[in-house]
């Protein structure tokens, strides 16, 4: 009952060694560690090559740069074990993470097992929930939490998948963001039963990054909208419709403000189409909740005012990318 670990890396010379050491030192030993060197131009190739000579469980695949999603898809082609997981190359694991998760698969009824995590930054560690509770979820409950962003995050790195559940699922290589949400939506849709252990076993390391420009933000907003639309269209005729609709509306509103703040030549035309869509959804009463209704009215009717209010809000708010139980 072995586990394949897929680690895409691009120019990760500063942190790939620490990441891989946290994997090879796991108390769970039956590992196949697939490292995809995605066209690195720094010393990454040498580091992972040396580490693979010391630990034969590490398999290195060198190729030209095509992006993390493409690297993960390539890694899936090399999987030899019955279970698979993913690790971001700049993060680390608690040494008993895989032992803690894999033991649940001895009960063959579980298709996905996942855990909590903590954020590690300059000012210290932030435990995300960490109630210590164990949640066994049927298909519907897990999908509801994934779509609505409750209880657990849609990331890949804190989840272990039974390979026969995801053997026909691949990452959308055109997406810059939310490709993990879409992958997990498809995975949990096929999953009959999963286990979420609310104990932090994965260390999400917050790295210094350059400030995203408006073009990058717009691309992310477009991709988030695309993913939410795919999920919403897939849920229109089932009990998940309202959860998918809420996510879709939020992404639509965010897309409008990102286009409005961009320098795109066609932004007026796109914003006009979005406003018409927002008005139509309000007419059909698809947009619910006082805050969301007010936001939709401001965006569709007085976008200049909304832009000014958003600037003020964005300066004083404290972003929360995590989830609540």
- Judge whether 273 and 224 are in contact, CB under 8 Å: no
What CA–CA distance (Å, rounded) separates 317 from 69? Answer: 31
- Judge whether 261 and 243 are in contact, CB under 8 Å: no
What CA–CA distance (Å, rounded) separates 287 from 70? Answer: 36
- Judge whether 239 and 140 are in contact, CB under 8 Å: yes
Q: Is the confidence at residue 317, as pLDDT, over 90?
A: no
Instruction: Look at residue 212 in the predicted model and tell me its pLDDT.
Output: 47
Q: What average pLDDT does the segment 101-116 reach?
A: 95
pTM: 0.91
Instruction: Look at residue 318 in the predicted model and tell me its pLDDT.
Output: 56
Instruction: Look at residue 10 in the predicted model and tell me its pLDDT.
Output: 98
Q: Is the confidence at residue 5, as pLDDT, over 70?
A: yes
Domains along the sequence of the chain with CATH:
3-205 (3.90.550.10), 214-316 (no CATH)
What CA–CA distance (Å, rounded) separates 36 from 61? Answer: 5
User: C-alpha distances in angstroms, 317 versus 210, 254, 298?
Assistant: 20, 16, 19
**Residue of 58, 80, 46 whose CA lies nearest to 7:** 58
Q: For residue range 196-253, what is the model confidence (pLDDT) as tens digits?
A: 999 999 999 998 754 445 678 899 999 999 999 999 999 998 999 999 999 998 899 8
Q: For residue range 143-192, what is the model confidence (pLDDT) as tens digits?
A: 999 999 999 999 999 999 999 999 999 999 999 899 999 999 999 999 99
pLDDT band at 322 (very low <50, low <70, confident <90, very high): low
Q: E strands of the chain, at which residues? A: 3-9, 31-38, 58-63, 83-86, 92-93, 112-121, 124-127, 134-138, 159-162, 193-205
Instruction: Look at residue 207 in the predicted model and tell me its pLDDT.
Output: 80
- Judge whether 188 and 194 are in contact, CB under 8 Å: yes
């Amino acid at each position: 009952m072995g586990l394949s670990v897929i680690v895409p890396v691009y120019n990760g010379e500063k942190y790939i060694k620490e990441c891989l050491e946290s994997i090879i030192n796991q108390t769970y030993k039956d590992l196949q560690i697939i490292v995809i060197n995605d066209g690195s131009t720094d010393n990454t190739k040498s580091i992972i090559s040396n580490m693979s000579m010391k630990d034969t469980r590490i398999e290195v695949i060198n190729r030209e740069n095509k992006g993390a999603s493409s690297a993960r898809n390539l890694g899936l082609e090399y999987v030899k074990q019955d279970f698979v997981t993913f690790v971001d190359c700049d993060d680390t694991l608690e040494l008993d993470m895989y032992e803690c998760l894999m033991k649940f698969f001895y009960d063959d009824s579980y298709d996905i097992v996942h855990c909590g995590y903590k954020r590690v930054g300059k000012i210290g560690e932030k435990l995300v929930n960490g109630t210590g509770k164990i949640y066994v979820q049927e298909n519907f409950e897990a999908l509801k939490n994934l779509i609505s962003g409750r209880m657990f995050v849609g990331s890949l790195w804190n989840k272990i998948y039974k390979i026969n559940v995801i053997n026909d699922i691949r990452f959308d290589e055109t997406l810059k963001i939310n490709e993990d949400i879409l992958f997990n939506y498809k995975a949990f849709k096929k999953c009959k039963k999963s286990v979420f252990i609310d104990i932090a076993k994965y260390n999400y390391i917050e790295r210094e990054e350059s400030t995203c420009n408006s073009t990058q933000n717009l691309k992310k907003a477009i991709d988030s909208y695309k993913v939410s639309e795919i999920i919403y269209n897939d849920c229109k005729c089932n009990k998940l419709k309202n959860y998918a609709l809420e996510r879709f509306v939020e992404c639509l509103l965010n897309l409008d403000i990102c286009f409005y703040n961009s320098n795109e030549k066609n932004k007026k035309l796109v914003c006009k189409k979005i406003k018409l869509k927002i008005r139509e959804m309000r007419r059909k009463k698809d947009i619910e909740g006082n805050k969301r209704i007010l936001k939709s009215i401001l965006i569709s009717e007085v976008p200049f005012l909304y832009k000014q209010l958003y600037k003020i809000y964005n300066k004083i708010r404290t972003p929360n990318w995590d989830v609540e139980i």
